[in-house]
Chains A and B, each alone.
Chain A
Amino acid sequence: SQQGEEDPQALSIQEGENATMNCSYKTSINNLQWYRQNSGRGLVHLILIRSNEREKHSGRLRVTLDTSKKSSSLLITASRAADTASYFCATNKAAGNKLTFGGGTRVLVKP
């Protein structure tokens, strides 16, 4: 099974609204990363949050990490049509350089 599971699987919002997606994982991690993918092309890194961090911000993105619940969330504020994409969380386990992806959330931002 996937190390990270995401919900919701799909999200449709109006431009200007916020989008929140969640990721849960099963084993101890070194860090958790969020990626974006447009139309089945390459993935673009958004944010990396380490296991000893609880929250990080980057522009309109806010990521939280709760290691006690083994979960993370990605918030996109003031969404734009250009934010339409699939968003994946990926976990790096406590040992090694393996990066395992969750199921992903497809976000549609309507203009």
Chain B
Amino acid sequence: DTEVTQTPKHLVMGMTNKKSLKCEQHMGHRAMYWYKQKAKKPPELMFVYSYEKLSINESVPSRFSPECPNSSLLNLHLHALQPEDSALYLCASSQVHHGLLNTEAFFGQGTRLTVV
């Protein structure tokens, strides 16, 4: 199984809503990532979890709250988002070796988020 599964595929939420994005992989990867991608732009790194611990936070606003409950699951909790947060949110996972990324990352199909 070389899949990274993201749910939901599409999400529309109001600015006062609380929602969560979910990501799951069963490849035994110990690094998991959240990226944000706006139209016609490259993916921008948001968070990295390594061995279930948050290792990188790219100065993401606190209205985005990541969680890694176990080595297979990664969540992104959303609260009080703004319309400019509308984007494709991509989850990825990879192997790590001695803290280094030496192999490819596997990406999910993304969640298309619209904030209204």
Which residues of A are interface residues toward B (Cβ below 8 A)?
Answer: 2, 30-31, 33, 35, 40-45, 48, 50, 88, 90, 92, 95-104, 106
Contacts and interface: CB of A to CB of B under 8 A. Distances in A.
B109 interface: yes
Interface string B28-39: 000101000101
A97 B48 contact: yes
A64 B64 CA distance: 38
A33 B94 CA distance: 13
B43 A101 contact: yes
Given A40-B88, A43-B90, A95 B56 contact: no
A30 B31 CA distance: 16
Interface of B: 4, 31, 33, 37, 39-45, 48, 50, 55-56, 88, 90, 92, 94, 96, 99-110, 112
A45 B92 CA distance: 11
A97 B50 contact: yes
Given A97-B48, A97-B50, A42 B110 contact: yes
Q: Which of A2, A41, A42, A96 has the most CB of B within 10 A?
A: A42
Contacts of B94: 97, 99
A45 B109 contact: no
A42 B94 CA distance: 15
Contacts of A30: 100-102
Contact of B101 (A40, A92, A103): A92
Contact of A96 (B37, B100, B106): B100
A66 B26 CA distance: 35
Contacts of A31: 101-102
B101 to A, nearest CB: 4
Given A40-B39, A42-B90, A43-B90, A97 B100 contact: yes
